[in-house]
């Protein structure tokens, strides 16, 4: 049995004992305030001291059994009501038997003791105690269980969406990279073979890396190999620059988060320059507040604010991944006629620091 389950069971036992003690004290206080005879108060205390622990134990046992058997709420409720009825009947009859010998305990019946009425009295009291037990014992844990199930469902939905994003993104990257290499197969087969080896290394690293996060140093190393493929495919028309500040390499971020931004900067920015002198600059630094700031900048023609690459799958994927994996992070775009800048900022909390 896990430690958390043991703690939960101890908590429930304590709550059960508190409920029993509180009900006994409240009932006695009610009798005292009502001015009832001391004999009747003592008799009620004796019966409750016997009945309530037995009823609480039976209800708790039935509750655990219902949870293990995965019964419906209606079945569990019917089971609890049946148990309360049975125990109430027994103690109602027992109270009637005692009252026949102790007149002070009679429930002011004009024609002597009525076993039907004492039994009904016992059943109604047991149902009242069952209701109190349900509110104090079962209801709080039912609410907590529902909250946990809701959180688990939300987490499963997020994980499924994240898996879908990655499943879409990796073939997307692979197709674009193979298209880049295809242009060299006939023109420069030796270069194409070299780039295929480079692509193999990229895919090996992507497949072997199972962690959800990675250091910036590993991600930049991966991106450099990716950039080599793109520079070779667009020789003379595309150049990469790297500006990673000292100390930023150890920062942690979601795996391959920057790759779609780099691809987007190449396809929609640098390669659209009329003079064929496209550049992509990848920068990273740690801000004064400890946040990791990564910038992917191109010198393309830029786009109007209303059209800033809103339909690009890569940007949508990055933004959604940040929402799922690092809610404290942000992605913003800055576009002008001089180029476009994609800026990812991950606070210390978003980095898991």
Render pLDDT for 101-123 as a digit per residue (tens, 0 to 9).
766 655 545 555 577 877 888 88
DSSP letter (8 states) at residue 137: I
Q: Which residues contact 175 (CB under 8 A, 6 or more apart)?
A: none
Last residue of a domain, one of 152, 177, 205: 152
Asked if residue 298 has pLDDT above 80, the reply is yes
pTM equals 0.54
Asked if residue 15 has pLDDT above 90, the reply is no
98 compared with 346, residue with greater pLDDT: 346
pLDDT score recorded for residue 311: 47
- State the average pLDDT over residues 140-146: 69
93 compared with 163, residue with greater pLDDT: 93
Q: Note whether 126 and 269 are same-domain residues.
A: no
Give the model's confidence band at 224: pLDDT under 50 very low, under 70 low, under 90 confident, else very high.
very high
Closest CA to 51 of 18, 89, 9, 81: 89
Asked if residue 238 has pLDDT above 90, the reply is yes
DSSP letter (8 states) at residue 37: -
Q: Which strand ranges, in their side-by-side order, compose the sheet holding 330-336?
A: 238-244, 278-286, 292-298, 339-346, 330-336
Determine, yes or no, domain membership for 111: yes
Q: Note whether 117 and 196 are same-domain residues.
A: no
Q: Note whether 268 and 337 are same-domain residues.
A: yes
CA dist., res. 257 & res. 134, Å (int): 50
Q: Note whether 214 and 309 are same-domain residues.
A: yes
Determine, yes or no, domain membership for 272: yes
Determine, yes or no, domain membership for 63: yes
pLDDT > 70: what percent of the chain? 71
Sequence-ordered alpha helix ranges (H) in the chain: 3-34, 38-69, 73-101, 115-133, 139-185, 189-208, 216-233, 259-268, 313-325
pLDDT score recorded for residue 165: 52
Please count the structural domains in the chain: 2
Max avg pLDDT among 156-165, 183-192, 342-351:
342-351
Give the model's confidence band at 207: pLDDT under 50 very low, under 70 low, under 90 confident, else very high.
low
pLDDT score recorded for residue 35: 62
Last residue of a domain, one of 105, 136, 152: 152
pLDDT score recorded for residue 255: 82
- State the average pLDDT over residues 158-175: 60
Q: Note whether 197 and 299 are same-domain residues.
A: yes
Q: Which residues contact 126 (CB under 8 A, 6 or more apart)?
A: 51, 55, 84, 85, 87, 88, 91
CA dist., res. 185 & res. 49, Å (int): 90
Task: Identify the weakest region by mean pLDDT among 162-166, 264-268, 308-312, 328-332.
Answer: 308-312
Asked if residue 244 has pLDDT above 90, the reply is yes
Give the model's confidence band at 245: pLDDT under 50 very low, under 70 low, under 90 confident, else very high.
very high
CA dist., res. 298 & res. 296, Å (int): 7
Determine, yes or no, domain membership for 73: yes
Helices 259-268, 139-185: axis angle to 10 degrees equals 40
Q: Note whether 135 and 250 are same-domain residues.
A: no
Task: Identify the weakest region by mean pLDDT among 82-86, 233-237, 248-252.
Answer: 233-237
- State the average pLDDT over residues 186-203: 80
pLDDT score recorded for residue 42: 73
The encoded tokens of residue 5 equal: 């389950």
- State the average pLDDT over residues 86-110: 74
The encoded tokens of residue 124 equal: 């109604």
Give the model's confidence band at 310: pLDDT under 50 very low, under 70 low, under 90 confident, else very high.
very low
Asked if residue 167 has pLDDT above 60, the reply is no
- State the average pLDDT over residues 5-34: 69
pLDDT score recorded for residue 339: 92
Determine, yes or no, domain membership for 171: no
Asked if residue 306 has pLDDT above 50, the reply is no
CATH of the domain at 241: 3.30.565.10
280 compared with 36, residue with greater pLDDT: 280
Which domain, by its residues, includes 263? Answer: 186-346
CA dist., res. 126 & res. 128, Å (int): 5
Determine, yes or no, domain membership for 175: no
Q: Note whether 269 and 139 are same-domain residues.
A: no
pLDDT score recorded for residue 299: 94
Task: Identify the weakest region by mean pLDDT among 43-52, 243-252, 282-291, 308-317.
Answer: 308-317
Q: Are 252 and 313 in contact (CB under 8 A)?
A: no
Asked if residue 309 has pLDDT above 90, the reply is no
pLDDT score recorded for residue 270: 94
Last residue of a domain, one of 127, 152, 177: 152
Determine, yes or no, domain membership for 315: yes
- State the average pLDDT over residues 68-90: 85
Q: Which residues contact 88 (CB under 8 A, 6 or more apart)?
A: 119, 122, 123, 124, 125, 126, 127
Q: Note whether 219 and 133 are same-domain residues.
A: no
Closest CA to 252 of 350, 132, 145: 350
The encoded tokens of residue 276 equal: 């064929």
- Name residue 335's beta-bridge partners: 340
């Amino acid at each position: 049995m896990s430690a958390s389950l043991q703690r939960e069971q101890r908590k429930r036992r304590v709550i059960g004992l508190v409920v029993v003690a509180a009900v006994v004290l409240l009932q006695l206080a009610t009798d005292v305030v009502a001015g009832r005879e001391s004999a009747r108060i003592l008799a009620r205390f004796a019966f409750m001291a016997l009945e309530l622990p037995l009823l609480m134990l039976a209800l708790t046992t039935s509750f655990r059994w219902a949870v293990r058997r995965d019964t419906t709420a209606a079945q569990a409720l019917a089971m609890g009501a049946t148990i309360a009825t049975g125990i109430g009947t027994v103690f109602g009859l027992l109270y009637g038997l005692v009252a026949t010998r102790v007149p002070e305990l009679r429930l002011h019946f004009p024609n002597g003791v009525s076993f039907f009425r004492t039994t009904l009295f016992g059943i109604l009291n047991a149902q009242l105690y069952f209701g109190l037990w349900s509110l104090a014992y079962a209801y709080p844990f039912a609410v907590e269980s529902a909250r946990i199930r809701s959180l688990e469902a939300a987490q499963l939905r997020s994980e499924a969406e994240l898996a879908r994003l990655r499943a879409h993104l990796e073939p997307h990257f692979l197709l674009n990279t193979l298209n880049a290499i295809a242009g060299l197969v006939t023109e420069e087969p030796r270069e194409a073979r070299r780039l295929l080896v480079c692509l193999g290394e990229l895919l090996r690293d992507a497949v072997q890396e199972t962690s959800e996060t990675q250091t910036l140093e590993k991600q930049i190393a991966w991106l450099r190999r990716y950039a080599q493929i793109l520079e070779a495919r667009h020789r003379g028309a595309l150049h990469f620059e790297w500006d990673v500040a000292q100390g930023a390499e150890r920062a942690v971020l979601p795996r391959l988060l920057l790759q779609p931004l780099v691809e987007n900067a190449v396809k929609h920015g640098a390669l659209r320059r009329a003079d064929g002198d496209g550049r992509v600059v990848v920068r990273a630094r740690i801000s004064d507040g400890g946040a990791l700031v990564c910038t992917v900048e191109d010198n393309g023609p830029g786009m109007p604010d209303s059209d800033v690459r809103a339909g690009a799958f890569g940007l949508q994927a990055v933004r959604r991944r940040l929402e799922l994996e690092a809610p404290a992070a942000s992605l913003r775009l800055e576009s002008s006629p001089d180029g476009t800048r994609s800026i990812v900022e991950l606070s210390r909390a978003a980095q898991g620091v």
